[in-house]
């Protein structure tokens, strides 16, 4: 049995990754360490919570003493706990620096100093560390050599973690690998992010807020493709290397909005233009040829519009899930499920 410690496994990508790992690697045990911030939701994991190969531990990545025994038990660490919402980082960057920078430094030091065999450390980074590309020249893409030019406090905090990972490999010879992925979509995404937000608003008869001129472009990747890429890099990536992960699926926000409206049978009248996000990056686009060439990974679940339609349908079919998030009821789940054990 191989034991993988996943940080942030109760979030959107984390929960999908934990399920992906258990489904695809029968010889794997998973420890999910998550402090359960507003975006950590154990209801994302009900389908596997009684799997004997899975264990949840409520713990903060900034707390070295809490992380040490978990790391010691693990053969490898997939570090994705983070503050993840750009808009929140504009309102208050402090939690972003704490978790994404200091938390990553704590995790790196705990893994570096853990007794016994060296453990691989995979850092889930983001394409946002590369800054922004112009809309005009579609031939320009982010490669792993593109300089780090983070533009939002979120991106700057992720870039700081990313640079620390590189530094720990260079300085201490740590076995690190990094993935830099584009925008994810799929089930269990916190409903303040654009796709679940729009679907939930439309179901509730509310308009969808569209930033600025709506021309900002993102490269959309299905979360299961991202999970597969993380697992591929964890198992086959070269120590010290960075791998871009993208869907080759650029869409402007207005195009995405029209697609969701069309899939749900609504028209333009449901769009509410709102003031643009401060410092809003214009375009992200990933060149993922390195991971394809060296590790054989290709996205297979992100094809548009089918994959988008499937995701929209998931939120339509799972209204209770996002309604419990919107009302805050999902927070009771930890107490019900783990409260007695946790306080024993
Ligand atoms: N969502 C995307 O499109 C995307 C794209 C590329 C990279 N990423 C990266 O992937 C990772 C996961 O993103 P997500 O969208 O699933 O985010 P999310 O906000 O849904 O989940 C983050 C998880 O981390 C946990 N967490 C936060 N602070 C913690 C702390 N101090 N200790 C322990 N746990 C803590 C939260 O409780 C939550 O469960 C992040 O590192 C993010 O930067 C996300």
In a domain, 44, yes or no: yes
Q: Is 62 in the pocket of ligand 1 (CB under 6 A)?
A: yes
CA of 176 to the centre of ligand 1 (A): 19
Q: Which residues of 296-307 are buried (b: 16+ CB within 10 A; e: fewer)?
A: ebebebbebeeb
Query: pTM to 2 decimals?
Result: 0.97
pLDDT of amino acid 340:
54
Pairing assessment for the beta strands 242-245 and 183-185 based on DSSP bridges: unpaired
Q: Where are the alpha helices (DSSP H) in the chain?
A: 12-24, 64-73, 86-91, 94-96, 104-113, 153-172, 194-203, 223-236, 253-263, 289-295, 306-317, 319-327, 332-334, 340-343
Whether 312 maps to a domain, the answer reads no
Signed CA dihedral, 180, 186, 190, 196: sign only: positive
> Is 307 inside any structural domain?
no
Tell which atom from ligand 1 comes closest to the C-alpha of 13.
16
Domain around 51: 2-190+220-251+280-301
Quick check: is 38 in a domain?
yes
Q: Which ligand 1 atom is the nearest neighbour of the CA of 83?
A: 27
Please indicate, yes or no, if residue 196 is contained in any of the structural domains: no
107 neighbors 67 (Cβ within 8 angstroms): yes
Instruction: Tell me if the bond preceding 305 is cis, omega within 30° of 0.
Output: yes
Residue 110, CB-side half-sphere exposure with 13 Å CA sphere: 25
Residue 330 Cβ contacting ligand 1 at under 6 Å: no
The two structure tokens encoding residue 61? 């990545």
CA distances to 31, 147, 154, 167, 256 from 128, in Å:
28, 11, 9, 19, 19
Angstrom distance (rounded) from CA 185 to CA 226? 10
Query: Is 54 annotated in the active site?
Result: no
Residue 153 Cβ < 6 Å to ligand 1? no
Q: Going residue by residue through the chain (344 aa), what tens digit of pLDDT does each one get?
A: 999 999 999 999 999 999 999 999 999 999 999 999 999 999 999 999 999 999 999 999 999 999 999 999 999 999 999 999 999 999 999 999 999 999 999 999 999 999 999 999 999 999 999 999 999 999 999 999 999 999 999 999 999 999 999 999 999 999 999 999 999 999 999 999 999 999 999 999 999 999 999 999 999 999 999 999 999 999 999 999 999 999 999 999 999 999 999 999 999 999 999 998 999 999 999 999 999 999 999 999 999 999 999 999 999 999 999 999 999 999 888 888 777 554 43
Note whether residue 104 is domain-resident.
Answer: yes
Whether 81 is in the pocket of ligand 1, judged by its Cβ within 6 Å, is yes
158 CB under 6 A from ligand 1? yes
Which residue in this structure is represented by tokens 């807020």?
209
| Beta pairing class for 217-222 and 250-252 | antiparallel
Among 50, 56, 49, 4, smallest CA distance to 25 is for 4
Distances (CA, A) of 53 to 48, 77, 219: 9, 16, 34
Q: What is the CATH number of the domain that holds 58?
A: 3.40.50.720
Instruction: Tell me how many domains the chain contains.
Output: 1
* 183 Cβ inside 6 Å of ligand 1: yes
Q: Is 333 helix (H, G, I), strand (E, B) or coil?
A: helix
- 123 within domain boundaries: yes
| Local structure of residue 222 (DSSP, 8 states) | E
Give the separation between CA 199 and CA 315, rounded to whole angstroms: 7
Q: Which of 154, 315, 330, 334 is catalytic?
A: 154
Of residues 61, 250, 66, 303, the one with CA closest to residue 141: 250
> Catalytic residue among 128, 224, 250, 281, which?
128
Angular region, 8: left φ>0, alpha ψ -120 to 50, beta rest: left
Per the annotation, the verdict on 154 as an active-site residue is yes
179 within a domain of the structure (yes/no): yes
Q: How many A from CA of 77 to the centre of ligand 1?
A: 15
Q: In sequence order, what are the residues at sequence separation of 6 or more whose Cβ sits closer than 8 angstroms to the Cβ of residue 82?
A: 8, 99, 100, 103, 124, 157, 158, 161
127 is catalytic: yes
Give the Å distance between the CA of 17 and the centre of ligand 1: 12
């Amino acid at each position: 049995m191989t034991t993988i410690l996943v940080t942030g496994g109760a979030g959107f990508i984390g929960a999908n990754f934990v399920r992906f790992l258990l489904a695809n690697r029968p010889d794997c045990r998973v420890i999910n360490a998550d402090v359960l911030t507003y975006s950590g939701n154990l209801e994302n994991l009900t389908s596997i919570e009684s799997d004997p190969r899975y264990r949840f531990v409520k713990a903060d990545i900034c707390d070295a003493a809490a992380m040490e025994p978990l790391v010691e038990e693990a053969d490898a660490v997939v570090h994705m706990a983070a503050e993840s919402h750009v808009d929140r980082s504009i309102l208050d960057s402090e939690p972003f620096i704490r978790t994404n920078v200091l938390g990553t430094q704590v995790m790196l030091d705990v893994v570096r100093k853990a007794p016994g065999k060296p453990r691989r450390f995979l850092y889930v980074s983001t394409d946002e560390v590369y800054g922004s590309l112009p809309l005009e020249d579609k031939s320009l893409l982010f490669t792993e050599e593109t300089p780090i030019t983070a533009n939002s406090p979120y991106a700057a905090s992720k870039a700081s973690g990313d640079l620390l990972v590189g530094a720990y490999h260079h300085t201490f010879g740590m076995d690190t690998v990094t993935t830099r992925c584009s925008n994810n979509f799929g089930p269990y995404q916190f409903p303040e992010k654009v796709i679940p937000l729009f679907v939930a608003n439309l179901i509730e008869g509310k308009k969808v807020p569209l930033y600025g001129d709506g021309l900002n472009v993102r490269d959309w990747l299905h979360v299961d493709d991202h999970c597969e890429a993380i697992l591929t890099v964890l198992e086959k990536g070269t120590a010290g290397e960075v791998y871009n992960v993208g869907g080759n699926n650029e869409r402007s926000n207005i195009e995405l909005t029209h697609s969701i409206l069309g899939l749900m049978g609504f028209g333009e009248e449901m769009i509410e233009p709102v003031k643009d996000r401060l410092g809003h990056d214009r375009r992200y686009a990933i060149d993922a040829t390195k991971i394809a060439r060296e590790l054989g990974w290709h996205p297979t679940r992100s094809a548009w519009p089918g994959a988008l339609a499937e995701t929209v349908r998931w939120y339509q079919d799972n209204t209770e899930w996002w309604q419990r998030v919107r009302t805050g009821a999902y927070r009771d789940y930890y107490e019900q499920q783990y409260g007695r054990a946790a306080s024993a």
